[in-house]
Structure 1
Amino acid sequence: MPEKGKATDMEALREALIDDILSMTEEKILAEAKEDNVDLDGNLRKTKALFDQAKKSAAKGKLKAAQAAVANNVFSNVVPMDRERFAKYDAALRTGKIGTSELTLAARNGSGLSEEDRRKLIEDMIELGIPLPDEE
């Protein structure tokens, strides 16, 4: 293990080198790299590859976090619905009337809706407690 004084000296040297590099202009950095026969194109490709890999890694991390969130909350918003009740809501949706209320244009009286949109709309009506005509 390095002594405390040596560790401090190494830290100071590291800081000085970093400050020196950061204070250099791009032209000076390129000139020194050419003097040292550094493959600029190769280093650029490697750097871009590292950034691409970091982006992919971050995206995978976000995906895993989202998957975990979904897995922990997957059944919290399930609306129980039997086929008969669904059919009644579907019929009411297609007529454009639920009880004495007219459906808004957003519902489009059930026309032009995909099956998934129709199912979600019916689930929303049940969740909101909108009664069917025979339930009022």
Structure 2
Amino acid sequence: MPTFLSVFLLVSLFWFPAQAQLNSATPTDRPIFSKVEEPPQFPGGMDKFTDYLKKNLHYPKAARKAKLEGSIVVNFVVTEDGRITDVKLYNSLGLGTDEEALRLIENMPNWTPGKQAGKAVNVRYNLPINFRLNT
């Protein structure tokens, strides 16, 4: 882990109003919830997710050279079987950080799916990823 990199994960989530909607990008074409009784979880919880970020996030050289810092919000669906699909960015920092955030999320292991009324369901999730250099 390079010493120049300090990764902070905002555990707070940006949930949309509770509703179900259909999204053809989901393999099952089942409803996608934006808020559920039991949210999806990274295997092992948020501490393990932070470990995953620290181990796998690579600060892009161009961003490091430009001393670029900031947050990227990544939006994705955790399917009813735990797969990550429909990965999108809400905002952009540039200089390779966008591609790195997408790569990081797309390569995550399957999550424990969210549940509504005791059943596993598709859940849309927003996750901010902060890029910070140690000073």
Common fold by TM > 0.5: no
TM-score, scaled to structure 1: 0.21
Which of the pair has the greater relative contact order for Cα pairs under 8 Å at 6+ separation?
2
Q: Which has the larger radius of gyration?
A: 1
Structure having the larger proportion of residues in helix? 1
TM-score using structure 2 length? 0.21
Answer 1 or 2: which has greater strand percent.
Answer: 2
